[in-house]
Amino acid sequence: MEAQQLTTLTGVIDKKMNRQLKQYMDICARCAICKDACHQYVGTGDFTYLPARRAELIRQIYKKYFDKAGRFVPALYEARDPDENLLDELYESTYACTGCRRCMYYCPFSIDTAWILSVAKAILIAAGRGNEMLGQLADAAIFKGDNAAMFEGVMLSGFEDISEEVRAITGNPEHQVHVNKEGADILYVALAGAHSIRPAAVIFEEAGESWTISMFEAANYGYFYGDAEKARLITKRYIDEAKRLGVKEIVVPECGHAYRVAEIFYEAWSGEPMPFKVSHILEKVDEYIKAGRITVDRDKIDGTVTYHDPCQIGRNGGVFDAPRDIVRAVTSRFVELTPNREQQWCCGGGGGIVAMEEFKDVRLKSGGKKVEQLKASGASVLACPCENCRLQIEELNEVHGLGLEVWQVIDLVVAAMPFKATPEADAATM
Amino acid sequence: MDTYLWITSVAGVYVAGVVFVAGIGWRIYEWATTPKSPVRLGMFPKPATTGGRVAKMLTDTLVAPHAARIEPRMWFFAMMFHVAALAAFVGHLRIVQEYPLLPDLLGAEGMNAFAAWAGGIAGTLMMIAVLYWIGRRTFGPFKNLSVPEDYLLLALLLGVIIMGNHMRFFGHVHAAEYREWFQSLLAFRPHVPDAISNSNVGWSLGTHMLFVNALLIYFPFSKLVHTIGSFAANYARSE
Contact at CB, A30 and B145, closer than 8 angstroms? yes
Q: Burial of B198 by CB count in 10 Å (0-12 exposed, 13-18 middle, 19+ buried)? A: exposed
Helix and strand totals (H; E) in chain A: 23, 8
pLDDT below 50 — which residues of chain A? 425, 430
Give the whole-angstrom CA distance, residue A274 versus residue A330.
34
Question: Cis bond leading into B45, ω under 30°?
Answer: yes
Domains A3-130 and A305-429 share a fold: no
Residues 6+ apart with CB under 8 A from A413: A199, A203, A285, A289, A294, A296, A326, A330
According to CATH, the topology of domain A3-130 is: Fumarate Reductase Iron-sulfur Protein; Chain B, domain 2 (1.10.1060)
Q: Which of B82, B230, B235 to mutate to test the interface with A (most CBs of A within 10 A)?
A: B230
Amino acid present at B163: M
pLDDT > 70? residue B139:
yes
What is the predicted pLDDT for the residue at A422?
A: 52
Size of interface A-B (CB pairs under 8 A): 143
| CB of B80 closer than 8 Å to CB of B125 | yes
B38, B148, B233 ranked by CB distance to A24: nearest: B233
**Which pLDDT belongs to residue B103?**
85
Examine the pLDDT at B129 and tell me if it is beyond 50.
yes
B154/A contact by beta carbon, under 8 A: no
Distance of CA A228 to the CA centre of its chain: 16
- With CB atoms and an 8 Å threshold, state whether B223 touches A30: yes
Residues across chain B = 239
Cβ–Cβ below 8 Å for B43 and A27: no
CATH number, residue B182: 1.20.950.20
Choose from B145, B146, B234 for mutation: most chain A CBs within 10 A.
Answer: B145
| Per-residue pLDDT tens over the stretch B70-110 | 999 999 999 999 999 999 999 999 999 988 888 888 888 89
Q: Is B123 helix (H, G, I), strand (E, B) or coil?
A: helix
CB contact under 8 A, A115 and B67: no
Pairwise CB contact (< 8 Å): B31 & A106: no
Which of A106, A265, A318 is facing B66, going by the closest CB pair?
A106
Q: For residue A186, give the 3-state DSSP assignment.
A: strand
Cβ pair A215, A153 in contact under 8 A: no
Report the pLDDT value the prediction gives residue B2, as an integer from 0 to 100. Answer: 87
Q: Do A303 and A381 contact (CB within 8 A), yes or no?
A: yes
Report the domain count for chain B: 1
Domain A134-290 is of which CATH architecture? 3-Layer(aba) Sandwich (3.40)
CATH level 2 (architecture), domain A305-429:
3-Layer(aba) Sandwich (3.40)
B227: CB partners within 8 A, 6+ apart: none
Range of the domain at B47: 2-236
In DSSP terms, A407 is beta-bridged to A383
Gyration radius of chain B over CA positions? 20
Contact B221 A68 (CB under 8 A): yes
Please, are residues B233 and A107 in contact by the beta-carbon 8 Å criterion? no
Name the residue ranges covered by the structural domains of chain A: 3-130, 134-290, 305-429
Query: Beta strand pairing status for A381-383 and A334-336?
Result: unpaired
8 A C-beta contact, residue A346 and residue A24: no
- Inform me whether the C-beta atom of residue B232 falls under 8 Å from chain A C-beta atoms: yes
pLDDT of residue A421: 57
pLDDT band for position B1 (cuts 50, 70, 90)? low
Average pLDDT over residues B56-71: 97
A83-102 residues touching B, CB cutoff 8 A: 101
- A338 contacts chain B (CB < 8 A): no
Overall average pLDDT of the B211-239 stretch: 97
pLDDT value at residue A425? 47
- For residues A78 and B146, give the distance between their C-alpha atoms in angstroms, rounded to a whole number: 10
Calpha distance A376→A233 (Å, rounded): 43
* CA gap B78, A106 in Å, rounded: 15
The 10 Å Cβ neighbour count of residue A406 is 20
Q: Best of A38, A110, A267, A272 to disrupt the B interface by mutation (most B CBs within 10 Å)? A: A110
Strand A305-307's sheet: what is its strand order? A334-336, A305-307, A381-383, A405-407
